[in-house]
Amino acid sequence: MVARSNALRVAAAVLVCIALGFASVRASQDPLDRRIDLDLRGENLLGVQKQLAARSRMDVLIGRDVAHPSEFKRTRVYLEMRDVSVRTAADWVARALGTRYRLLDQGTALEFTSSYAWLEATPPVVRTLNLGGLVDPDDPSRFLSQVKELIKVYALRAPTYSIRMRPDGRLQAFLPPVLQDRLVAALRAMSNPGRVPVRTETSAPPGTARIQTALDRPVRVACEDRPLPEVLAVLAFQTEVNLGFDHRVLRDRSTPHLRLRLRDEPLRRALQAVAEQAGLRGSSIDPHGGIWLMADPPWWTQAGSRRLLWEDVPVIGYAVRALAEREGGEIVVRRAKRAMPTDLRTDPSVAVVYHERSGNLIVIAPSEAQETVEQVLARAKEEPAPSDEPAAADPTGD
């Protein structure tokens, strides 16, 4: 009897451990990594909201800056995605709507919005910080202007947010917690030794090779006066590649109708023909999703992610003193900014500043942009310094 009781206790303990293990796995799994299928061909915003919520198992909200609730039934999306992550699905829907998205409630809810009203409405917290040797005593105003550029308080319509220098040389910030964290991270990047830019061999994401192969796959299309979404659905079915397009062509005029006759032409040629007739600029590869057809100008569909950038943006300091002394700090800043897509350069939450006292270039940008910036800085360091010596005289006198 005692043995049976012990056996039951052991079995119960094992079941508890298994349950805790499964719970731990579920807790550690990022909900944005869940793989899903979506068929949003002709769905209005109510249908998009309902289907994405069911597939992602997350609450899905659509901000009033995207569409007023009275317009939900009139605004339609034409996308189909197979075996993509929730993150990619959110990116594509946001691109189609011309907006961004953010995570709410510890990653259990998804909101499509480009508005910063949620941040502007957050009450500020007062914080006073010692600056040590970060400030040039002869020019404290320059340091203050650099900090303001990194925090971008001026980009928000919140008059209660401010940063100022106290008479005792300390920095006082009236900011919400999100921006307080950003400020502390920026000051740490100035205080600590910067990351030395190292040039590395970058490999294309795994999905790129599959999509490049698909672009050479022959397709057949014979259509007369067929709507753009229908033609793309035919091409996607034949090549097993997700195809999306910039929905601004639908808002600028009625849905483009196409006339195509292609027999055993590669997909890339078919997409060129589609883009020409639909008034699109061309296509770009999204290795995590498929192929996206862009309108002109394409700036707000270039970024790899459409997630709002005020939250959880990496802050990195790069050691570039020698490069800055050779070229000038402002030139290095421009190099870093040019390395980013226009979509990021124009985003108010992205910032680049050269801090002379530390010799660090402070970059606040998404991870993929940070990698590009590091490669650009590493290549710039390898460039030979310009020679100040005058050219030798030609001995022939010519």
More confident: 384 or 118: 118
Q: Is-contact 313 340, C-beta < 8 A? A: no
The phi, psi pair for 114, rounded to 5°, reads: -110, 5
Q: Bigger pLDDT: 360 or 28?
A: 360
- Domain endpoint, select from 62, 94, 115: 115
Spell out the residues 6+ positions from residue 362 whose beta carbon is closer than 8 angstroms to its own: 150, 186, 189, 190, 315, 316, 317, 351, 352, 353, 354, 355
Mean pLDDT of 70-95: 91
- The structure's pTM equals 0.79
Does the pLDDT at position 183 exceed 90?
A: yes
Same domain, 184 and 314: yes
In a domain, 393, yes or no: no
Long-range contacts (CB closer than 8 Å, 24 or more residues apart) made by 95-99: 95/244, 95/246, 95/292, 95/300, 95/301, 95/306, 96/244, 96/245, 96/246, 96/247, 97/66, 97/67, 97/247, 98/247, 98/248, 98/300, 99/63, 99/65, 99/66, 99/306
Average pLDDT estimate for 69-83: 91
Strand partners, 279: none
Predicted local distance difference test score (pLDDT) of residue 207? 75
Tell me: do 180 and 322 sit in the same domain: yes
- Phi then psi for 73, rounded to 5 degrees? -80, -20
205 in any annotated domain: no
Cβ 259 vs Cβ 277: under 8 Å: yes
Whether 322 and 178 map to the same domain: the answer is yes
Asked if 189 and 324 sit in the same domain, the reply is yes
Place of tokens 């940063």: 163
Q: In whole numbers, what is the pLDDT of the chain averaged over residues? A: 85
The pLDDT, as a whole number, for residue 283 is 84
pLDDT tens for each residue of 250-263: 876 678 899 999 99
The number of domains in the chain is 3
State residue 307's pLDDT score.
84
Residue 195, in any domain of the structure = yes
Can you give the CATH number for the domain in which 100 is found?
Answer: 3.55.50.30
Look at residue 192 and tell me if it is in a domain. Answer: yes
CB 366 within 8 A of CB 314: yes
Residues 195 and 232 in one domain: no
Predicted confidence band of residue 2 (pLDDT cuts 50, 70, 90): very low
pLDDT (tens digit, 9 = 90+) per residue, 156-176? 888 889 999 999 989 999 999
**145/77 same-domain check:** no
For residue 19, is it within any domain?
Answer: no
Mean pLDDT across 59-74: 91
Phi-psi region of 58 (alpha: psi -120 to 50; beta: other; left: phi over 0): beta
Residue 44 in tokens: 């209005």
- 322 with 277, same domain: the answer is no
Type of residue found at 385? A
Residues 185 and 326 in one domain: yes
Task: Report yes or no on 129 lying in a domain.
Answer: yes
In a domain, 3, yes or no: no
Same domain, 36 and 59: yes
Task: Check: CB of residue 106 under 8 Å from CB of residue 153.
Answer: no
Instruction: Kindly state whether residues 134 and 190 are assigned to the same domain.
Output: yes
CB 246 within 8 A of CB 283: no
pLDDT at 201: 72
Q: Are residues 216 and 192 in the same domain?
A: no
Residue 222 in this model has a pLDDT that exceeds 60: yes
> What integer pLDDT is reported at residue 271 of this predicted model?
94
How large is the average pLDDT for residues 193-199? Answer: 90
* Mean pLDDT, residues 369-393: 77
Whether residue 395 is contained in a domain is answered as no
Most distant CA pair in the chain, distance: 113
In eight-state DSSP terms, residue 348 is T
For residue 266, pLDDT beyond 90: yes
Rg (CA), the chain: 27
pLDDT of residue 268: 93
Statement: residue 133 has pLDDT above 90: no
Say if residue 217 is in the same domain as residue 192. Answer: no
pLDDT band of residue 341 (cuts 50, 70, 90) is: confident
> 166 lies in which domain range?
125-200+308-382
Q: What average pLDDT score do residues 311-321 get?
A: 93
> What residues does 36 pair with on adjacent strands?
84
Task: Say what the pLDDT of residue 5 is.
Answer: 52
